[in-house]
Homo-oligomer: A and B are copies of this chain.
Amino acid sequence: MSEKTGGTGRRGFLKQLGMAAAGAAAFGAEAAAPKPRRDVRRWDATTDLLVMGSGAGGISAALEARRSGIQAMVLEKFHVPGGSSSLSGGVCYLGGGTALQKALGFTDTVEDMYRYMMAASGLYADEKKIQLYCEGSVAHFDWLVANGVHYARKFSEEKEISIPDGSLYYCGSELVHPYREQARPAPRGHVPPSPHLIGGRDLMKALTRAALDAGAQLRLRCSAERLILESDGSVAGVSATDENGRSIHIRATRGVVLAAGGFIHNRPMLERFAPELARCSVPWGRAGDLGQGILMGMAVGGAVQRMHHGFVILPMYPPETILNGILVNSRGQRFVPEDGYYGLVGHEIAFKLDDGQAYMIVDKPHAFAWKDFRFNVAAEGATIAELEGRLKLPEGSLQQTVEYYNRHAKDRRDPLLHKAEKYLAPLKQAPFVAYDVGLKNTFMPVHTFGGLQTNTDAQVINAWGDPIPGLYASGRTSAGLPVAPYIGSGVSIGDGTFFGRRAGRHAAGRKA
């Protein structure tokens, strides 16, 4: 609250704009305040492009920078590289007729991919980025392959979170109403074959190897903390804490890429900007997702966008037999096609239901086997009426919902929500089970999508769209392609690698 922020000249001015350490309060943001170049006595190291964070967005920028003939140095706070990308499934959402799609006999077009992405992204769709991404998608797949990412020539028909041996699958809501009517569906999930959800590890291994082979420098346990600004406001480098705990200054002649992930582990920041996500149970991401990159960008005038958006996952399948059940809210009503992408289903629960409470209702043949058991049983009943009573749903509501569902499901129809035919069968064999898939009691991983607004060259832009010279952001430090509800696995990694590359290329074209 102090107003003793006086002082003279630019220093005082910087301070006013939150650009000095003193007085800062919330969520460790003080550590994100920039430093004027004139306070830097000497540079401890120099590179062309300095990248903060070694996840998909950062490594891709470094790799492309090297390929474009400039130096690149990646700082990674932790002792292992890869960031949250290496914790992910490693899926890239790609299409328009990639080599893998063609090899497996699937037809896809840039237009259909674009149509799906626009329709599913809804009101928050970034048309320019989506268009560029769809047009560049085939070449981007080739780039991943050329850089050592391995894909199996096998399509997987199952609705899975990880694909044990295939590499192409339907990873979003392409086959789900109303999207299947709006764009010709094609499988666009491209993933290294991975028995245990470790596609991300394999993807990042390959890209990191490629970046190192191409001559990028990687400094582990070295954490970037503040941007250093020239007097003209352009970015000159970063101050960091190195492997030995020393404060160092690194000069970056072509720019800095903020690629330090989202802010799912920064609780005060999450509560302030994304309260819907804050009420989900499992913050998902490496420990580094503290919003540091976003705060550093905000501190130099970077605009943020969609800060309340995120990826809320209800991991219902496998096995997909569970999708024969119906999802109901606490009014006993169905509210989302059960076969929707799990990011869509999670979003509907977290953002659309005020009490965040939902149940998955199945009959005996479709209940989870013990080995697949994943949710708490909220209630069981010999009849639907009994189940309804135990769940304390409005009297008659669930009975009516099931009656309506069964009436049509026996003809393999779902006039209410158009769930795909293969999941349609009447719920009739007791006991009936209700799994608790509400926010309170369910394993529901979540991470953030909001971040610094960037243009199509991954430059961070200010409140009215002007780029901040020398400053880039990629991956979840930026507000990229992923919006809420999330439209399919691999849009985030796809965005990070694609626009990360564009950052590296753009920086190479800048005057040093």
Contact = CB atoms under 8 A, between A and B. Distances in A.
A10 interface: yes
A18 B462 contact: yes
Interface stretch (A63-71, A75-83, A136-144, A465-473): A465-473
A276 interface: yes
A416 interface: yes
Contacts of A467: 1, 3
A5 interface: yes
18 contacts: A3-B469, A5-B466, A6-B234, A9-B231, A13-B229, A15-B232, A16-B234, A16-B469, A23-B466, A24-B465, A26-B464, A122-B354, A273-B305, A299-B463, A331-B416, A394-B416, A397-B416, A400-B404
- The complex is assembled from copies of this chain, and their number is 2
Closest 5 CB pairs of A and B: A16-B233, A29-B464, A123-B275, A12-B232, A394-B415
A463 B1 CA distance: 14
Nearest to A13: B233
Interface in A329-361: 331-333, 352, 354
B27 A464 contact: yes
Contact of A463 (B298, B332, B352): B298
Contacts of A24: 464-466
A146 B12 CA distance: 43
Contact of A301 (B16, B25, B279): B16
A417 interface: yes
A312 to B, nearest CB: 14
A124 interface: yes
Given A308-B308, A394-B416, A233 B12 contact: yes
A7 interface: yes
A299 B17 CA distance: 10
A175 to B, nearest CB: 18
A195 interface: no
Contact of A232 (B13, B23, B407): B13
A456 to B, nearest CB: 10
A390 interface: no
B233 A30 contact: no
A510 interface: yes
A123 B17 contact: no
Contact of A17 (B278, B305, B332, B462): B462
A199 to B, nearest CB: 31
A396 interface: yes
Contacts of A298: 463
Contacts of A244: none
Interface in A466-492: 466-469
A20 to B, nearest CB: 10
Given A231-B8, A275-B124, A16 B468 contact: yes
Contacts of A404: 396-397, 400
A448 interface: no
B25 A232 contact: no
A234 B465 contact: no
Nearest to A511: B3
A454 interface: no
Interface string A293-310: 001001111000100100
A17 B232 contact: no
Contacts of A243: none
A6 B510 CA distance: 14
A16 B14 CA distance: 12
A23 B17 CA distance: 21
A469 B3 CA distance: 6
B17 A233 contact: yes
A25 B273 CA distance: 26
Interface string A436-470: 00000000000000000001010100111111110
